[in-house]
Amino acid sequence: MRRTRHTAIASGGVALAAALALTGCGQGFDDTSDRTSNDGLTSSNDPLTVMYNPSGDAEKEALVAAIAAWSAESGVEVEPVATDVTNSTTALTQGFAAGNPPDLFYLGPDLLAGYAANGSLQAYGPELSNKDDFYPSLVENFTVDGQFYCAPKDQSTLALVINTDLWEAAGLTDADLPTTWEQLDTAATALTTDGRTGLTFAAEYQRVGVFMAQAGGGLVSDDGATAVADSPENAAGLEYVKSNLEDGTFAYPKDLGAGWGGEAFGKQLAAMTIEGNWITGAMSADFPDLNYRVVELPSGPAGQGTMQFTNCWGMAADSPNQQAALDLVEYLTGAEQQLAFSAAFGPMPSVQSAADQWQADNPDLAAFINGSEYATGMPTSAGTSEVVADFNTQLESLATGDPAQILASVQANLESVVGG
């Protein structure tokens, strides 16, 4: 949705494969240059390689500039290597297999457990000087078997985005802003007309999951060790969505002729959408004249709930200069640098100390960062991404399907990878 294709960048435009090969040569892994610091991290004079998959040119330019600033101050040479999101996992896996992975790299929660299990990752979380500053929900995203592996680099959450012109035209006021499911029903009904639905969101757990969370459900237990997809709470969440899809007050973007919620919202095929803070860039670029506001999602039977999305700075267990890599991560995840990244390309800070300033800088978007306090992350056990993909396929026909049967299928699939 937001991601675009990019080629690898390095000094002189070196390709990804060449950069990884250079990493292996430059780092050496010899007994004379490498040493282990007191905190268990390796230390040497070797340069660092940082592999990342940017969301666009703005992220690429901001990250390269930040790395260059740290490199100039620290005296440690750093090679930033960009890769397309569709190729990043393959490139990383090949680097591990060849024994020359990048020192630091973007790592999603869905890949953490697999790489941790085969010994590819350094669990440096406890060594971070700012480890207590990260939102607890983000730390959970990157914790396996009680071990905090890597620093969340930033975050996004979901909120309710409202077309204010259509809101006023329907006779709605601030008093009608929905704080409960019932009030959301009322608003969606008032906003639904011929050719336009009240609320749209994608047919996927990454959006529908907010209603499961608001009902008190989720795919796995709080400790991530048990599959709980077939719970009554999850059924209640899906039943709520199903009833509104049937009524036509909710609709999936594809059923409105749009590719994603932001497009349906921008074209005014829907008066409201559930999306992340990245929607602001899409509205500015594609629908600059559309007036909208962002509010927190309404509470369900169990309270507030939203979804949270993030990556961490993974660190290779084979890196011979982990101490320098740790220092770079602390620099990149510091409040000041994260606020600069937010201004440059839109993500929210992963550290709580930056929240007040972020809200001051983005007063109209406070709902997104407020959601960090009660957000649910994606399951992190190896194999769960495939389970979620199958769940998403089933959610496409939720309006005519049986929520209990769908959840029973998801439960069986989850138990095969998480445990019953």
The whole-angstrom separation of Cα 366 and Cα 400 is: 36
Cβ neighbours for 209, distance < 8 A, ≥ 6 positions apart = 218, 219, 307, 376
- E strand map for 340-408: 375-376
Q: What is the pLDDT of residues 86-127, one digit of tens each?
A: 788 899 999 999 999 999 999 999 899 999 999 999 999 999
The angle subtended at Cα 293 by Cα 287 and Cα 294, nearest 5°, is: 115
Return the pLDDT at 8. Answer: 31
Element (H, E) at 288: none
Q: Find where tokens 């369900």 sit.
A: 300
Proportion of the chain above pLDDT 70, given as a percent: 90
In the structure encoding, which two tokens stand for residue 189, read together? 């009904």
Q: What is the pLDDT of residues 351-400, one digit of tens each?
A: 999 999 999 999 999 999 999 999 999 998 888 999 999 999 999 999 99
pLDDT band at 16 (very low <50, low <70, confident <90, very high): very low
Return the pLDDT at 405. Answer: 98
Find the mean pLDDT for residues 23-35. Answer: 36
Cβ neighbours for 174, distance < 8 A, ≥ 6 positions apart = none
CATH code 3.30.70.120 for 16-155+310-369: no
- Per the CB < 8 A criterion, the answer to whether 58 and 339 are in contact is no
Q: Which residues of 173-193 are buried (b: 16+ CB within 10 A; e: fewer)?
A: eeeebbeebeebbbbbebbbe
Find the mean pLDDT for residues 167-188. Answer: 98
CATH topology of domain 157-308+383-415: D-Maltodextrin-Binding Protein; domain 2 (3.40.190)
Q: Which residues of 101-115 are buried (b: 16+ CB within 10 A; e: fewer)?
A: bbbbbbbbbbbbbbb
Where does the chain hold its CATH 3.40.190.10 domain(s)?
16-155+310-369, 157-308+383-415
pLDDT band at 419 (very low <50, low <70, confident <90, very high): low
Find the mean pLDDT for residues 216-220. Answer: 97
Coil, helix or strand at residue 380? coil
The whole-angstrom separation of Cα 361 and Cα 43 is: 38
Task: Give the pairing of strands 48-52 and 104-107.
Answer: parallel
Find the mean pLDDT for residues 41-70. Answer: 96
pLDDT band at 237 (very low <50, low <70, confident <90, very high): very high
What is the identity of the amino acid at 22? L
The whole-angstrom separation of Cα 188 and Cα 297 is: 13
Q: Which of these, 227, 360, 210, 379, lies nearest to 300 by C-alpha position?
A: 210
Return the pLDDT at 257. Answer: 97
- Lowest mean per-residue pLDDT among 8-22, 164-178, 320-334, 383-397: 8-22
pLDDT over 60 (residue 13): no
pLDDT over 80 (residue 23): no
The whole-chain average pLDDT of the chain stands at 90
